[in-house]
Chain A
Amino acid sequence: MLNRRDFLKLAATLSATFGITGLPAPVAAALKKIDPAAVPKLIYLQGLSCTGCSVSLLQADSPSPLTLITDYSQLAFHADLSAISGRKAQQLIDKYISGQAGEYFLAVEGAIPEKMPEACRIGDKTFAQYLEAAAKTMSGAVAIGACACDGGIPAAEGNLTGAIGLKEFYHKRNIEKLVVNIRGCSVHPDWVWHTIIHLVKVGVPELVNDSPKMFFERKVHELCPRYHDFQQEIFAKRLSDKGCLFKLGCLGPDTNADCPTRWWNGGRTWCIDSNAPCIGCASPNFARKKNIPLYRLNEVREKTV
């Protein structure tokens, strides 16, 4: 006979495979009634990161950030918010990572310096050592942002640390673990928090290429309010112009994200509404190559001269 915890685990696995709608009614109902004690604990670790994703998570609108870390998750450790520091903080992290403090999800922000492990340490261990140990004990991981998913800017061409994302890090070690990728530099807070709410309430959301389909199914270009300008060939010729920004280098056609419908910062704004071309920060290839610039201003100028 399954106990409640095993039952929920099985249900979560089933929902990951079939989606909540495919589940028998009692299983789905049980998932919706997860009690507070079963709300996932999060151990949030930062690698080669800028903390931009953490700061973005604090820009969450509804629910508020405080509700998200008390009601919808239990933020057991986060370097930016935890009151505890030093040796006791180290002990807390070690207790979870060694599996002695119960089940937890690992939240990872930042890349892993695969060729230079000393380029990232937390307390007495390298970042990579935590990730290897966590693979044995965690329920799964959420890779938060461009760096954790694909290496991001630290992995851009010419880097010296051999930075890679979490999935590749585990793949190289033949580790099979659930890793949900949430791209963006930085992530939109909804993309992460709504994924976590989904995990808590109804299980793993439907994934496409390891990312939640509900946010990353379609391209920025397809959803863009300036798509009409594109069809009518009304193109911005210089920065601050209205019109489709494609000829200035907009990477909306190459980037899967729902920014055009979600907007940013409380729904007040987003890049293209401020006439700034999409730089493809939610693309796995974001800023990767030196010879692919983020903008193409000169091409337009040369053609219009």
Chain B
Amino acid sequence: MKIDLGPVTRIEGHLNVHTTVENGIVTDAQCVSEMFRGFEVILQGRDPLDAQQITQRICGVCPYAHAIASSYAQENAYKLQVPPNGRIMHNLIQGANHLYDYLLQFYQLSALDFVDVTAILQYTGKDQDLIKVKQWVTAELDRNKEFPAAPFLPRLSGQYIKDKDINIGALKHYIEAMEIQKKANQAAAIFGGKFPHSTGIFPGGCTQNARIDHIAAYQSLIREVKHFIHDKYIPDIVAVATAFPEYWKIGASKGGFLSYGLLPLSSALNSKRLLAPGVMFDGQVSPVDLNQITQDTKFSKYSSSSNLHLKDSATIPAPHKNGAYSWTKAPRYGGRMVEVGPAARIMIDYHQGNNPVVTQLVNHFAGLAKITPANLNSVLGRHLSRAINAAVIADFLLEETERLDHGGPTMADIVIPNSCEGFGMTEASRGGLLHYIRVENHKIAKYECVVPTTWNGSPRDDNGQPGAMESALIGTKVQTPEEQIESVRIVHSFDPCIACAVH
């Protein structure tokens, strides 16, 4: 039986998944990105300093990651000496953006896969927010509307959490998370100018001044977010994991893992990072070698050549290409498929023993859930990894603010050579992000982005190997093949962003 899961909601953008289900098992899955804009073509011939602005518009969910990757690539190309404040501000902006994104991803994008929203009708307590929502849902149901209580209903059929108090607690946190994510973004915007789409991030630093009042406001906001992470977000993930322990085994991708590392600890680009970079196959971590990255297009809607290295990349759209089913290209590392994202980041750091807090948290939760660190490659593992990322980043940001030199310089002087090139790598919340810029005659001659969901949401490569998300879906048992809440939970655990993937 062939079933399309699209339009897939509670993700960024235009995703369909073609599935084949036989005897209640997904035997085939094709991830279909359905939106193309052509950023790399649009960037050609533009002023190089347009890049950190234009590439943010690849994604309004994680624009700061693009601004940072582009800034790193340009710093690398222009050989800028970034003052310590400049790099610290980059980190403060990007780290806060991660925190908002993790909360949004769990509460607004994923929680309704597990939490029973109708439990609100049984609420008898005194919380004003919950009373208001209960009254609203009741009125909606009484009004005989065709689609009452949208967008929270209707929903996919399946098992939801049965415990009333857990459901109602999570719904309360759904509402609170909507307020808390704003605080993380407000913190980021103090140094970034605004959110979404920062105007203050540049190659070489940030335009904002390092003022003590800014620092104090930032700290206060991040402390609030940190408390929410520890008091609500992490316990809610544990509650979901307790109700659905089988999801430690469901949704594992079948390849390797890649992380570029997140948040440099000094202003040098090649400095040690808070979370360490690496590529991992069969439990063995090696340093990342960019020469190993190629992009295939056999099943992608492009007539441009396949299997090209980053510097040779090309984008010629061919919407009606025979056999092609997605606008996403298929990047591979040494010809092999990898998963990127929060779990990859945590596993790669853990295996290198880089960050002691990561090691401690992984061991703690693995003990609690009776799993091994390898089980982070799963639906629950990705959610838990986000929470570990969030806890580690929040602490780091508060320490980082103490290193900001009040009144010190925040920007390098930007001088763009006539011709130059550079790579910039960072981690967006959903995974490894790479930008490449080549400048000729003061203009952008080539720009290439390989984005987290380009990896995770990729179609087959030239050798027929599925992408990470496809491989995680294949083999999944589904109760209702027409709806497949199980498959949707897997897709959501990857936090796909199609605007990013295709760009």
Are B197 and A82 closer than 8 Å at their CB atoms? no
Are B197 and A281 closer than 8 Å at their CB atoms? yes
Are A79 and B317 closer than 8 Å at their CB atoms? no
Q: How far is the CA of A79 from the CA of B209 in the complex (A)?
A: 38
Q: Which residues of B contact A95 (CB under 8 A)?
A: 146-147
| B170 contacts partner chain A, Cβ-Cβ < 8 Å | no
Are B483 and A88 closer than 8 Å at their CB atoms? yes
Are A186 and B50 closer than 8 Å at their CB atoms? no
Q: Interface readout for A70-90 with B: 1 if CB under 8 Å, 0 if not?
A: 110011111111111111111
Q: A79 to chain B: closest CB distance in Å?
A: 5
Are B411 and A238 closer than 8 Å at their CB atoms? yes
Pick the residue among B37, B154, B209 that contacts A161 (CB under 8 A). Answer: B37
Q: Interface readout for B199-240 with A: 1 if CB under 8 Å, 0 if not?
A: 110100111110000000100000000000000000000000
Q: Which residues of A contact B11 (CB under 8 A)?
A: 79-80
Q: Which 5 A-B pairs have the closest CB atoms?
A: A52-B60, A293-B47, A276-B199, A118-B319, A83-B155
Residue of chain B at shortest CB distance from A259: B194
Q: Which residues of A contact B200 (CB under 8 A)?
A: 271, 274-276
Given contacts A92-B154, A276-B199, contact A159 B143 (CB under 8 A): no
The contact sample of 11 A-B pairs, CB cut-off 8 A, is A50-B57, A64-B179, A66-B175, A80-B108, A81-B9, A113-B36, A119-B36, A186-B60, A238-B413, A278-B199, A294-B53
Are A36 and B139 closer than 8 Å at their CB atoms? yes
Are B37 and A48 closer than 8 Å at their CB atoms? yes
Q: B95 to chain A: closest CB distance in Å?
A: 16
| A122 contacts partner chain B, Cβ-Cβ < 8 Å | yes
Given contacts A95-B146, A159-B42, A160-B38, contact A86 B8 (CB under 8 A): yes
**B-to-A contact residues, CB < 8 Å:** 4-14, 16, 34-39, 41-42, 44-47, 49-50, 53-54, 57-61, 63, 104, 108-109, 112, 117, 133, 136, 139, 143, 146-147, 150-156, 175, 178-179, 181-182, 185-186, 189-200, 202, 205-209, 217, 317, 319-320, 327, 409-411, 413-416, 482-484, 488, 497, 499
Which positions 256-305 of chain A face chain B at CB distance < 8 Å? Answer: 264-266, 268-271, 273-279, 281, 287, 290, 293-295, 297-298, 301
| A54 contacts partner chain B, Cβ-Cβ < 8 Å | yes
Are B4 and A265 closer than 8 Å at their CB atoms? no
Give the one of A69, A79, A102, A120 with max B CB within 10 A: A79
Are B409 and A240 closer than 8 Å at their CB atoms? yes
Give the one of B189, B191, B196, B197 with max A CB within 10 A: B196
Q: Which residues of B contact A24 (CB under 8 A)?
A: none
Main secondary structure of the interface of B (DSSP, over half): loop
Q: How far is the CA of A36 from the CA of B138 in the complex (A)?
A: 13
Q: B131 to chain A: closest CB distance in Å?
A: 13
Are B36 and A52 closer than 8 Å at their CB atoms? no
Given contacts A51-B60, A274-B193, contact A295 B38 (CB under 8 A): no
Q: A62 to chain B: closest CB distance in Å?
A: 11
Pick the residue among A70, A270, A287, A290 that contacts B194 (CB under 8 A). Answer: A270
Are B53 and A59 closer than 8 Å at their CB atoms? no
| A196 contacts partner chain B, Cβ-Cβ < 8 Å | no
Q: Which residues of B contact A58 (CB under 8 A)?
A: 104, 108, 178, 181-182
Are A76 and B150 closer than 8 Å at their CB atoms? yes
Are B186 and A265 closer than 8 Å at their CB atoms? yes
Are A121 and B34 closer than 8 Å at their CB atoms? yes
Q: How far is the CA of A297 from the CA of B343 in the complex (A)?
A: 41
Which positions 86-140 of chain A face chain B at CB distance < 8 Å? Answer: 86-90, 92-93, 95, 101-102, 113, 116, 118-123
Residue of chain A at shortest CB distance from B218: A268
Residue of chain B at shortest CB distance from A82: B151
| A10 contacts partner chain B, Cβ-Cβ < 8 Å | no
Pick the residue among B186, B327, B414, B415 that contacts A239 (CB under 8 A). Answer: B414
Are A53 and B60 closer than 8 Å at their CB atoms? yes
Are A287 and B182 closer than 8 Å at their CB atoms? no
Q: How far is the CA of A129 from the CA of B383 in the complex (A)?
A: 37
Q: How far is the CA of A271 from the CA of B156 in the complex (A)?
A: 42
Q: Which residues of A contact B178 (CB under 8 A)?
A: 58, 64-66
Q: Which residues of A contact B482 (CB under 8 A)?
A: 86-87
Q: How far is the CA of A207 from the CA of B469 in the complex (A)?
A: 46
Give the one of B175, B189, B410 with max A CB within 10 A: B189
Q: How far is the CA of A59 from the CA of B41 in the complex (A)?
A: 31
Q: Which residues of B contact A185 (CB under 8 A)?
A: 57, 197
Are A293 and B46 closer than 8 Å at their CB atoms? yes
Are B195 and A264 closer than 8 Å at their CB atoms? yes
Q: How far is the CA of A54 from the CA of B410 in the complex (A)?
A: 31
Are B217 and A268 closer than 8 Å at their CB atoms? yes
Q: How far is the CA of A119 from the CA of B41 in the complex (A)?
A: 15
* Interface-side segment among A1-9, A149-157, A208-216: A149-157
Given contacts A153-B54, A279-B199, contact A84 B193 (CB under 8 A): no
Q: How far is the CA of A15 from the CA of B206 in the complex (A)?
A: 46
Are B488 and A85 closer than 8 Å at their CB atoms? yes
Q: Which residues of B contact A85 (CB under 8 A)?
A: 5, 7-10, 156, 483, 488
Residue of chain B at shortest CB distance from A88: B154
Pick the residue among B14, B46, B104, B112 that contacts A290 (CB under 8 A). Answer: B46
| A56 contacts partner chain B, Cβ-Cβ < 8 Å | yes
| A55 contacts partner chain B, Cβ-Cβ < 8 Å | yes
Q: How far is the CA of A218 from the CA of B410 in the complex (A)?
A: 32
Q: How far is the CA of A95 from the CA of B497 in the complex (A)?
A: 27
